């Protein structure tokens, strides 16, 4: 494992435990403060060709993030195991890429947050799709079932086509609403 950058956001209560685990692993890490979020990822990692730029913005993000310069899957698995054993976790992790090394750290946080939200929405849709297998068509009015079925197929298509976050969100809400509006036959 090479260098690690950590930002705790609103989860500063776990900082001591995370640092204890990283010290146990002899990891080379750096904890970022809000005033550093405007710096480029390459600068924060001390990469060649990157220099600190004057930045007067003081940005805050609520999410936490652990950014690895380089790490093997086994290293991350070991870190996750030790964090879990210590009663905490770092849900969001990212690796340095040619693409993100030039990003400002707050832009990386924003993108990671969008991705996290996206995958949460996809999981929520999948949960609703699985729950659909428990429904019996004959139990519901044809009109309400038709609306539900339409929303079901739109949501299914959306997760298979890897739609945008906005499209995924719309599909989730349409399916969720259609399920709530199912009317039982009398």
Angle between helices 165-180 and 142-160 (to 10 degrees): 160
Q: Which two tokens stand for residue 95?
A: 């690796």
Co-location of 84 and 135 in the same domain: no
| Those residues with Cβ within 8 angstroms of residue 48's Cβ, 6 or more apart along the chain or in another chain | none
* Boundary residue ending a domain (103, 131, 166): 103
Residue 25 to residues 20, 21, 85: CA-CA distances in angstroms? Answer: 9, 6, 14
Co-location of 43 and 87 in the same domain: yes
Co-location of 8 and 88 in the same domain: yes
Co-location of 77 and 123 in the same domain: no
Judged against a pLDDT cut of 90, whether residue 180 lies above it is answered with yes
| Those residues with Cβ within 8 angstroms of residue 143's Cβ, 6 or more apart along the chain or in another chain | 183
Co-location of 77 and 130 in the same domain: no
Residue 127: exposure state from Cβ atoms within 10 A (0-12, 13-18, ≥19): exposed
User: What does the pLDDT read at residue 56?
Assistant: 63
- Residue 74, domain extent: 4-103
Co-location of 27 and 84 in the same domain: yes
Say if 98 falls within a structural domain. yes
pLDDT digits (tens, 9 = 90+) for 82-127: 999 999 999 899 999 999 999 999 999 999 999 989 999 999 999 9
Residue 26: exposure state from Cβ atoms within 10 A (0-12, 13-18, ≥19): exposed
Co-location of 89 and 143 in the same domain: no
The two most distant CA atoms of the chain are separated, in Å, by 72
Q: How many domains does the chain have?
A: 2
Look up the pTM and report it.
0.79
Contact 165, 118 (CB under 8 A): yes
Say if 111 falls within a structural domain. no
Co-location of 86 and 153 in the same domain: no
Co-location of 129 and 44 in the same domain: no
Co-location of 69 and 151 in the same domain: no
Contact 28, 4 (CB under 8 A): yes
pLDDT digits (tens, 9 = 90+) for 127-140: 999 999 999 999 99
Give the mean model confidence (pLDDT) for residues 153-182: 95
User: What does the pLDDT read at residue 146?
Assistant: 96
Say if 66 falls within a structural domain. yes
Co-location of 36 and 83 in the same domain: yes
Co-location of 98 and 122 in the same domain: no
Say if 21 falls within a structural domain. yes
Please, what is the Cα angle at 29 between 26 and 33, to 5 degrees?
A: 150
Say if 108 falls within a structural domain. no
pLDDT digits (tens, 9 = 90+) for 11-67: 999 999 999 999 999 999 999 999 999 999 999 999 999 988 887 677 899 999 999
């Amino acid at each position: 494992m090479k260098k690690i950058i950590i930002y705790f956001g609103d989860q500063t209560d776990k900082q001591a435990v995370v640092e204890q685990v990283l010290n146990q692993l002899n990891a080379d890490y750096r904890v970022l403060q809000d005033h550093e979020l405007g710096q480029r990822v390459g600068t924060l990692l001390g990469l060649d060709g990157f220099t600190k730029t004057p930045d007067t913005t003081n940005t805050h993000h609520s999410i936490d993030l652990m950014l690895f310069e380089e790490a093997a899957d086994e290293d991350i698995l070991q870190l996750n195991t030790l964090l879990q054993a210590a009663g905490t976790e770092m849900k969001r992790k990212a690796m340095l890429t040619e693409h993100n090394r030039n990003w400002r750290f707050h832009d990386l946080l924003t993108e990671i947050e969008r991705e996290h939200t996206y995958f949460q929405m996809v999981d929520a849709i999948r949960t609703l799709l699985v729950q659909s297998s428990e429904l019996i068509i004959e139990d519901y009015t044809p009109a309400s079932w038709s609306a539900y079925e339409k929303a079901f197929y739109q949501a299914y298509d959306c997760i298979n086509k890897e739609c945008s976050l906005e499209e995924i969100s719309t599909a989730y809400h349409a399916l969720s609403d259609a399920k709530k509006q199912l009317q039982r036959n009398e």
